[in-house]
Amino acid sequence: MHPFVYARATTAQGAIETHHLADSPREAPSVRARSQYLAGGTNLIDLMRLDVMQPELVTDINALERTPSGRIEYGARGLWLGALVKMSQAADHPDVAANYPVIAQSLNLAASAQLRNMASLGGNVLQRTRCTYFRDMSYAACNKRSPGAGCAALDGVNRKHAILGVSDRCIATYPGDFAQALIALDAVVDVAGPSGSRTIPFAQLHRRPDHTPHIETTLQPGELITAFVVSPLPWARRSKFVKVRDRESFEFALAAAAVALDIADGKVRNVRIALGGVATVPWRARSAEEALRGQPLNDDTLKAAAETAFAEARPRGENAFKVALGQQTLIRALRETAEMNL
C-alpha cells in the first residue's frame, strides 16, 4: 500500500473541499484519481492493498452518518436512502422490506454479514469490477487501469465476464446487486459537489465502457453521492431479486434479475426488469418489459421476453453460457414474483 494523507470531514461540504485539494483532472483514469472518499472501505481498502488504487489523499466521510445521508425515511414521497446508510440497515428496515422487497433482497444476498455491516449504500453502487485482470497488477493489459493497454479478458479467462453492454476495449462485469434494484425502480441519485447539488436518474450514473472503460460513472471530480430516492410505487411490493452464483454465500452473481410486477386479470399491466452479473453496468431490460406489457405470463411470453432481454448479448469464449443462464434466471424471477402472496 502506498503512503497517503488521511483526513476526516464532518459535513458534505467539508468533505468536498478537502477532496478537491488533491483532485485529478477529468481525463485521468478514475482508478488513478489522487483523492478518494472513504466510507465503509470494503472495496477501496482492498484495492489499495493490491496497489490497484494509489490515492494521495483519503477523506473519511463516516461522520456524515449523523446528517440526512445517514437516514432512511419512507412516506408519501417514497423511499429516501441516505448514502451513508449501511447495507444491513437498509436490508433490515421494515419499510424497505415491506414496500420494496427487491431492495432488501438485493442487499441481503450480497457479500457477507460482516461486510454488509460495514459497507455503505453509496460505496456499494460505486464498487469496482472483480475482473481478475483489473485486480492483479501483474497483468499490464487492462484498459480500466491503464487506458490504451488492451483488455486481457477478451481472449483470456472470461467465464464471469459481461455479455451485455460490452465493447472491444472492456468486458468487465459490474459486480453489484443493489444497483439492479435501484435501476429497476427508476430511482434517482442526489449528488453534492464543487459546483453545488444536483439530482440525476440512477440509470444515468454508470457509463458503458465504449472507448473509455476507465471512466465508469458520470460523476464529476469531487462529487459525492448523498442519497437515493425511490418514488412511491404501490406494486413494488410485488418485487423480487433472484441471484444465481457458483455458491450460495459470499459470491458475486453469474446472473441475476430484479423484477417488480403489476398483474391484473391474469395479464401484465406493468413490469420493471433489471439484470445483473451479465452486463458492464446496471442493466435495465426495457425491451423485455415492453414485450410483457398487456400479455399473460405463460411459457410462450416468458420465453419471448427472456430472448428479447438478451438479443444484444455479445458472448466471448467461456461466458457464452450466460445467455441461457440469464434467460432462465429472468424467467424464474418473473414466475416467482407473480406467485408472491400479498
pLDDT in tens, 152-197: 999 999 999 999 999 999 999 999 999 999 999 999 999 999 999 9
Strand pairing category for 5-8 and 57-60: parallel
| C-alpha to C-alpha distance for 83 and 210, rounded to whole angstroms | 28
**pLDDT for the residue 20:** 74
**pLDDT for the residue 28:** 61
Burial 319-338 (b: 16+ CB within 10 A, else e): beebbebbbebbbbbbeebb
The residues of the chain scoring below 70 in pLDDT are: 22-29
| C-alpha to C-alpha distance for 278 and 299, rounded to whole angstroms | 23
**pLDDT for the residue 146:** 94
Burial 169-206 (b: 16+ CB within 10 A, else e): bbbbbbbbbbbbbbbbbebbbbbbbeeeeeeeebbebb
Instruction: Read off the pTM.
Output: 0.96
SS3 call for 311: coil
183 close to 203: Cβ distance less than 8 angstroms: yes
| C-alpha to C-alpha distance for 339 and 53, rounded to whole angstroms | 45
pLDDT tens across 186-242, in order?
999 999 999 999 999 999 999 999 999 999 999 998 999 999 999 999 999 999 999
Within its chain, how far is the Cα of 53 from the centroid?
Answer: 20
**pLDDT for the residue 29:** 65
**In order of start, what are the domains of the chain with their CATH numbers?**
237-337 (3.30.390.50)
**pLDDT for the residue 32:** 83
**pLDDT for the residue 329:** 98
